[in-house]
A = this chain, B = another copy of it.
Amino acid sequence: MFLETPIARFELKFDAEGRNNGGYRNDITVYRRARVVESFDLPTDEGTIIGGTGTAPYPLAYFASGLTGCLMTHLRSFAKRLNMPTTDFAVTTRCHWAAQQAEQVLYESKPLSFTMDIEIGGDVSDDEKRRLIAASSRACFVEQSMKPGLVKHRLKSGEAWIDLDE
């Protein structure tokens, strides 16, 4: 999917198969459905503080890594495609949700904000970095699956942060 040679259109399929036998641990295996199928064991659990057994990461920890990693992979892929002489990247994503009581013992949840703070190293102008981030955001499979406008991006410029979504 990140071949250096662009193709006009392609599709991606990932299937997750989860099993739960009573507690908060979910045994989940994810399959990448392609000519060669690859699989990954990615179980989830809750921490002991909140009733889980702490044997695996939280589901939201996986989500946060998936969102961050998907954008970062596109930054790297597209920097190569655009021949931008980037060096290191650092991306910090802050995911923030709220939950509110609904029915007597249940709650409903909503996302509050997702901000991605992006630092890009190398002899590249801020304008080029902005172009790289915008293109990567439009290509990021996770971000494009989320509510429009929810994910915000900031670019480090010298010692300052530039808001990119205003």
A contact residues vs B (CB 8 Å cutoff) = 1-4, 6-24, 26, 28, 30, 32, 34, 36, 38, 40, 42-44, 46-47, 49-52, 57-70, 72-73, 75-78, 81-82, 87-112, 114, 135, 138-142, 144-148, 150
Copies of this chain, count: 2
Interface pairs A-B: 3 shortest CB-CB: A44-B69, A59-B69, A63-B66
A112: B residues at CB distance < 8 A: 11
Contact of A20 with B59 at beta-carbon distance under 8 Å, contacts A6-B107, A97-B141 already known: no
CA of A48 to CA of B38 in the docked complex: distance in angstroms? 11
A81: B residues at CB distance < 8 A: 105-106
CA of A10 to CA of B44 in the docked complex: distance in angstroms? 21
A87: B residues at CB distance < 8 A: 21-22
